[in-house]
Chain A
Amino acid sequence: MFFETFISWWHVLLYPLPLIVIPLAVGLGRFVRGGALTVLSVVALLAFGAFWFGMRDYYTPTAPFGYSPSTLIVMFAVIAGAPLLLCAWTVALVQAARRRQWVWLTLLCVAVYISAATLVFFEATPYALCLLDPGAFCPQGIQSGQSTLAIFMASSFIAPVTLLVYSLRTGTQRQARALPDGLRVTRLTTEES
């Protein structure tokens, strides 16, 4: 049944595999201050960095009709980075809602929208081609140059950086918080020993 479309099926099974980084990051979060949120934010940050690193020569066809290293880096970064960011965002939103930190909740929503919209705008317009391939024909009105590229890069990093700041702030606060007055926690074995 699927023989004639084997290559497609190979892709269908392969593309979701980078999602394995999500449980790995959450599991690793048990050993890190700030928990899963810190690890998810850091890995999302790294994935975004890998995305921009791979985009440097993404439009230079080093291997026509095949996968160049840049293509693979960009694909992996997008497939793993975007879901990681969503997962980190979800965990952060649940924490913020539970602690009634409405300002943080709003900030996180705005930051994620800015990052996502930046990446969509960059890819959906000729900016990606014009900024990354100096030899490309660019329509009138496109401002090419390193400063424009820097603005796009900085905007895309707003969400993972905000998530990381929130995670480290709340993780630190939790450690510093003392028990309320009059509340004492003792070991179960204290009286026996």
Chain B
Amino acid sequence: MTIFREPMLFWEPMLLFPLLALLIPVGILIGQHWQRGPLVSLSAGAALGVVIYLALTWSSFTVDYYPVYPYSTVETLMLVAGLLVVGAILLLGALALAFTDALRERRRVWAIVQCALVYVSFVGMLGFMLEPVRFCGELPSGTYCSPPDVGRFALFAALSLAGPIATLAYALLAQGRAAAMPASEQPEGLTI
């Protein structure tokens, strides 16, 4: 591998990114003891990833000077970008489980609502990447940034959280309905 050292400077840290996907089996194993546990854990994980990303991004607005826009170091930039990637990965897993469950339970309205809100979430996440919330410029003394566009930040935050909240709400409501139904009662005339 040493012969790759010179021309391939950044590929080694990039191989860590696929490891983030292993959070999906971790979430599934955590929640496997409950009926919709994997869906709850993946949705909650996605929401948590997005919330921490938002908190770190917001906290970065309190600083005026950035060696690496908009975060203080390359490591911070990688960490914060990784959080959004984690949110997106877990949200995709949650969408697959929630949509399969909703179709099986014949809750078609929930299925459509979840798809729409997950799409909205990805629009919000892409918005954070493609539409800067604040603009920065290079000066001889360093990089200086304009005040953040709070309205745009709030819009992207709301959009990004819509999907995880929808799948989490579906999982908890479905779990609540299942718990409220009498489990031992069988339909009349059914013999096993």
Contacts and interface: CB of A to CB of B under 8 A. Distances in A.
A191 B189 CA distance: 9
A109 interface: yes
Interface stretch (A47-55, A65-73, A113-121, A147-155): A113-121
A58 B32 CA distance: 43
B7 A126 contact: yes
Contacts of A42: none
A83 interface: yes
Interface string A100-115: 0000010001001100
Interface in B24-40: 24-25, 28-29, 32, 38
A8 B29 contact: no
A31 B123 CA distance: 31
B87 interface: no
A184 B97 contact: no
B95 to A, nearest CB: 6
B122 interface: yes
A124 B131 contact: no
Contacts of A17: 119
Interface in B125-151: 126-127, 130-131, 151
Contact of A126 (B8, B99, B191, B192): B8
A109 B25 CA distance: 8
A125 B4 contact: yes
B77 interface: no
A168 interface: no
Given A116-B21, A124-B10, A26 B122 contact: no
Interface stretch (B11-19, B47-55, B65-73, B176-184): B11-19
A22 B95 contact: yes
B89 A12 contact: no
B118 interface: yes
A139 B123 contact: no
Given A12-B130, A121-B11, A125-B4, A87 B21 contact: no
5 contacts: A12-B131, A87-B92, A113-B18, A117-B18, A121-B15
Interface of B: 3-4, 6-8, 10-11, 14-15, 17-19, 21-22, 24-25, 28-29, 32, 38, 42, 89, 92-93, 95-97, 99-100, 103, 111, 115, 118-119, 122-123, 126-127, 130-131, 151-152, 187-192
